[in-house]
Amino acid sequence: MLFAKKKRLIERVLLVEDEALEAFDTEHFLNGEGFTIVATVDSVADALVWIETDPDIDLVLLDVRLADGSGIDVARAAKARGVEVLFVTGDCPAEARALGAGWLAKPYPQRDLLGAILAVETVIRGKKPRKLPSSFNLFAGVA
């Protein structure tokens, strides 16, 4: 086949979001785009359990401010296991730059979420993304 699609490097996503409607919308959108949501959780504690027990997570979509703590703790655990993190939050702390692939600022259009994920995947492939969504910051230290 001449124009075969590349196999995705990011397929299985852990969604960590404590705003129920936003979590539902994101999960529905990403499922429709062909991603597998391994779980949608709303706490640091639950996210840490998933990161420690599921070796096949490709990406964590992570809010920073969660009811039971900071998403930074989740990012540290994900990084230790070699899992990419995409922060999806209104305000991203400076320390996140060393822990994640990038930051998608809330609120954002869903196409920007898809563009951010594809940009992270492009970097994992060793290439430079052509265009980044306007609400997305790719961190220099990714991959």
What CATH number has the domain bearing residue 115? 3.40.50.2300
Orientation of helix 71-80 relative to helix 44-53, angle to 10°: 10
Bridge partners, 70 (sequence order): 65
pLDDT tens for the chain, 143 residues: list them. Answer: 455 567 889 999 999 999 999 999 999 999 999 999 999 999 999 999 999 999 999 999 999 999 999 999 999 999 999 999 999 999 899 999 899 999 999 999 999 999 999 999 999 999 999 899 999 999 976 54
The pTM for the full model equals 0.92
7 lies in some domain: no
Which residues span the domain enclosing 18? 12-138
CB 29 within 8 A of CB 113: yes
> What's the gap between Cα 11 and its chain centre?
11
30 lies in some domain: yes
19 lies in some domain: yes
Half-sphere exposure of 51 (CA within 13 A, CB side): 27
Cis peptide before 107 (omega within 30 of 0): yes
4 lies in some domain: no
